[in-house]
């Protein structure tokens, strides 16, 4: 990959941060995809400004030959198209070589979720751990219980949750102000169970046997940790969640922070919540993203009829 390619890709990524508020994870994904594309055309002696529509098509074909999934190929084409829109706007290329290209159609999979009873078991297991541990282990149990209650009560993205600043506690304790994708802020309400779990995490008090429990370290983060960022990582929370899922008698492979976000949305809609309200709570920029949860309910109703209606055909 040439220095010129690296320069143009770097400028594009800077634009994503400045104009769209792209997150680090988004930038890393774009960088990987575009550097792979630049390396591919570099082997043919091409630079970004010399690429044709045929060259991009050949690259996508090579991705298919390597066994890359349709979703991954579609994502790479999307990155390439956005890069060339930027380069065309900056007059680096006279014409957009990606114009008119269409990627493989992605089958829209329904989000995985849990039933209300399964979430209740998960929360109960997390709460029980806070009563059966002491010392630092109890402090970690209180943190996990707080995280589980918060993510199910608010539907926050896991990155939003683990990177909450401690300043989020300032003001009304009935709501949290969340800074989501693109720097957009939204308010999410806290139910009594989430507020109680948060209070216990911040002020743990003694364990059942009377022994002291260390309080959370004072930090700019609500969930501080010894990590590069200074706060708990997504991966660490996901691992803790799988442990508690096993204690709750659930299949750990079915449980993740994102699944709890899905459960939050699905359960709200199942009980008659307005789709627009759910969109705002989830922080979706486009309501079409939220509409996927209506399909989850449709599939559940179909299964209900198929399994229980006396006239349903059994196969």
Active site residues: 157, 181, 258, 261, 284, 293
Instruction: Take residue 76 and report the two structure tokens written for it.
Output: 């790479």
Q: Is the dihedral of CA 260, 150, 285, 74 positive or negative?
A: negative
Query: 183-187 — which CB contacts under 8 Å span 24+ positions?
Result: 183/21, 184/21, 184/283, 184/285, 186/280, 186/281, 186/283
Contact 112, 259 (CB under 8 A): yes
Chain centroid to Cα 87, Å, comes to 29
Q: Within 10 Å of residue 110's Cβ, how many Cβ atoms?
A: 14
Name the β-bridge partners of 188: 176
Whole-Å CA distances, 94 to 34, 52, 99: 20, 11, 12
Contact 219, 204 (CB under 8 A): no
3-state secondary structure of 163: coil
Distance CA 114, CA 284 (A): 21
Backbone angles phi, psi at 10, to 5 degrees: -60, -40
Distance CA 174, CA 195 (A): 8
Candidates 240, 275, 294, 273; CA nearest to 113 is 294
Instruction: Take residue 131 and report the two structure tokens written for it.
Output: 């009563």
Distance CA 244, CA 161 (A): 18
Instruction: Take residue 112 and report the two structure tokens written for it.
Output: 């995985």
């Amino acid at each position: 990959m040439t220095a010129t390619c690296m320069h143009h890709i770097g400028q594009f990524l800077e634009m994503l941060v400045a104009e769209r508020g792209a997150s680090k994870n988004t930038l890393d994904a774009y960088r990987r995809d575009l550097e792979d594309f630049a390396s591919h055309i570099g082997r043919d002696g091409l630079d970004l400004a010399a690429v044709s529509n045929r060259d991009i098509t050949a690259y996508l074909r090579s991705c298919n030959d390597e066994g890359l999934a349709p979703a991954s190929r579609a994502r790479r084409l999307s990155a390439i198209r956005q890069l060339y829109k930027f380069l065309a706007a900056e007059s680096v290329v006279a014409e957009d070589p990606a114009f008119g290209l269409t990627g493989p159609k992605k089958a829209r999979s329904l989000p995985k979720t849990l039933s209300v009873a399964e979430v209740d078991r998960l929360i109960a297991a997390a709460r029980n751990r806070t009563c059966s541990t002491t010392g630092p282990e109890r402090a970690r149990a209180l943190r996990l219980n707080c995280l589980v209650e918060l993510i199910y009560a608010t539907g926050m993205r896991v990155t939003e949750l683990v990177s909450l600043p401690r300043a989020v506690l300032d003001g009304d304790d009935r709501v949290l102000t969340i800074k989501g994708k693109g720097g957009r802020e939204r308010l999410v309400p806290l139910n009594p169970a989430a507020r109680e779990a948060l209070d216990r995490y911040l002020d743990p008090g003694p364990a059942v046997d009377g022994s002291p429990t260390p309080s959370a370290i004072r930090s700019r983060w609500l969930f501080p940790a010894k990590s590069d960022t200074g706060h708990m990582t997504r991966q660490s929370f996901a691992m803790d969640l799988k442990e508690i899922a096993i204690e709750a008698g659930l299949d750990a492979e079915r449980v993740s922070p994102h699944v709890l976000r899905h459960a939050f949305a699905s359960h709200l809609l199942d009980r008659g919540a307005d789709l627009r309200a759910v969109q705002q709570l989830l922080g979706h920029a486009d309501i079409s993203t939220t509409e996927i949860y209506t399909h989850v309910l449709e599939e559940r109703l179909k299964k209900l009829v198929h399994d229980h209606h006396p006239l349903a055909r059994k196969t």
